[in-house]
């Protein structure tokens, strides 16, 4: 017979476990909104086809200069899908992430985990390693994407640069801080990727 104290231990321990299903679905909503805007496609299959041609960020990953931390997760996904290929809905993928450089396979993996959760298969009723690894790998990817988006040239940057240009014209001498800010914004304007194209511009050119 389980004591009250023992029940409390088990109950609160179970509540402390990370719920990867909800986390992954929330993360996928952000990813979905990003890739639909980036690819210009509302259909997921068509969007994924375009995503598989967007290689620059993935080249940096293969070179080891971006998406730091993803490779060790990829290795786990490779081992898992080799042992048990993912059943998939698209027909364009064999369910196996071939190696830790197979980023196109990873894109399919994310989508298939999303489909299994959304359509209420076995992934929706129990914790699985697939969901955990899908969340962890997609989080690394979207963390990089959103970080790059924040570095792009926004409307507020444009308006501030315009204000500084007016100050330059109306004052013979400006405080060094204003001069430095103007230079920074000007360089940001020149080197920034367009916000929906950040995955196709190399880090060292931003």
Long-range contacts of 191-195 (CB under 8 A, 24+ apart): 192/151, 192/152, 192/153, 193/148, 193/152, 194/152, 195/149, 195/152, 195/154
Tell me the torsion sign for CA atoms 66, 138, 93, 33.
negative
CA distance 31 to 26: 9
The pLDDT tens digits of the residues spanning 71-124 come to 999 999 999 999 999 887 667 799 999 999 999 999 999 999 998 888 765 555
The pLDDT tens digits of the residues spanning 116-161 come to 888 765 555 554 889 999 999 999 999 999 999 888 887 787 778 8
Question: Whole-angstrom Cα distance, residue 204 to residue 206?
Answer: 6
CA distance 44 to 41: 7
């Amino acid at each position: 017979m389980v004591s009250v104290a023992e029940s409390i231990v088990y109950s609160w321990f179970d509540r402390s476990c990370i719920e990867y299903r909800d986390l992954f679905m929330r993360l996928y909503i952000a990813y979905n909104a990003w890739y639909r805007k980036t690819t210009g496609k509302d259909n997921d299959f068509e969007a994924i086809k375009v995503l598989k041609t967007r290689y620059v960020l993935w080249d940096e990953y293969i070179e080891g200069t971006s998406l730091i931390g993803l490779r060790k997760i990829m290795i786990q996904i490779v081992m898992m899908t080799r042992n048990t290929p993912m059943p998939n809905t698209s027909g364009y993928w064999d369910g196996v992430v071939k190696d830790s450089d197979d980023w196109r396979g990873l894109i399919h993996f994310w989508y298939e985990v999303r489909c299994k959760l959304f359509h209420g298969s076995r992934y929706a009723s129990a914790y699985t390693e697939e969901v955990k690894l899908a969340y962890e790998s997609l989080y690394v990817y979207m963390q990089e994407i959103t970080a790059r988006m924040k570095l792009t040239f926004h409307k507020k940057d444009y308006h501030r640069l315009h204000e500084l240009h007016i100050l330059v014209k109306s004052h013979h001498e400006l405080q060094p801080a204003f001069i430095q800010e103007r230079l920074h914004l000007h360089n940001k304007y020149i080197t920034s990727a367009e916000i929906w194209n950040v995955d196709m511009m190399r880090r060292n050119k931003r």
